[in-house]
Amino acid sequence: MTSAECNGTPIRVLVVDDHDLFRTGMASLLSAQPDIEVVAQASGGRMGVRLAGELRPDVVLMDLRMRDLSGVDATRQIVERRPATRVLALTVSTSEADVTEILHAGACGFLAKDTELDSVAVAVRAVAAGAAWLSPSAAQVVLGQIRAAEVRHPHQTSRIDQLSARELEVLRLIALGKENSEIAAELNISPRTAKNHVSSILNKLELPSRVQAAVYAVREGVS
């Protein structure tokens, strides 16, 4: 649960897109939502990284293709500097390469730019609450990669056995869309310990992000 949800304040959103008309339109439409506050707009990736660091938004709406710094690189820098910031990719392309790259960079959601506003607002609320959010086309890409991996390695030993009992508990909560503060509260551990468990899980399972960890947990039947 984000700090915004805890104290009832609006979800703070940064919109990053180098298409002025789309960016300002999206910012205006989101600002009309009673529970969402657009704290700033950025016309490029570098500005987006700087504003994300200065303003510490709950959610960053990130375009993938920008002239100065790609959305993938900007996302990677934002997440590395402040892991609590949730990045939601919003782009015209839903190719396998784009979905894979942005999720590996640390984004927790992926939407097409032709998504209806109501659905964008729902996605913003979901990722702010700690859940992952994929458009149907992006979800198909992720599921397709899982199926392909299973075909290539049908007898490969699962890495799930490398996890401790506590790490399995944490992985189960990740699959439920819980973020570190919620995991800490449920398991009666500190947020830092929860964060360390998540990092260990990703390292042991050789996964790049929480989204992939959640998918992995579902595939392995962790519940």
Contact predicate 48/15, CB 8 Å: no
Give span(s): CATH 3.40.50.2300, the chain.
Answer: 3-143
What is the tens place of the pLDDT at every residue in 145-204? 555 555 544 544 567 888 899 999 999 888 877 778 888 899 999 988 988 998 888 888
CA atoms within 13 A of residue 163's CA, in its CB half-sphere: 25
Categorize the per-residue pLDDT at 3 as very low, low, confident or very high, splitting at 50, 70 and 90: very low
Q: How far apart are CA 70 and CA 36, in angstroms?
A: 25
Phi first, then psi, for residue 30 (nearest 5°) are -70, -35
Categorize the per-residue pLDDT at 132 as very low, low, confident or very high, splitting at 50, 70 and 90: confident
Closest CA to 14 of 46, 49, 38, 45: 38
- Residue 74: per-residue pLDDT: 95
CATH class of the domain whose range is 157-220? mainly alpha
Q: What dotted CATH number matches 3-143? A: 3.40.50.2300
pTM, rounded to two decimals: 0.67
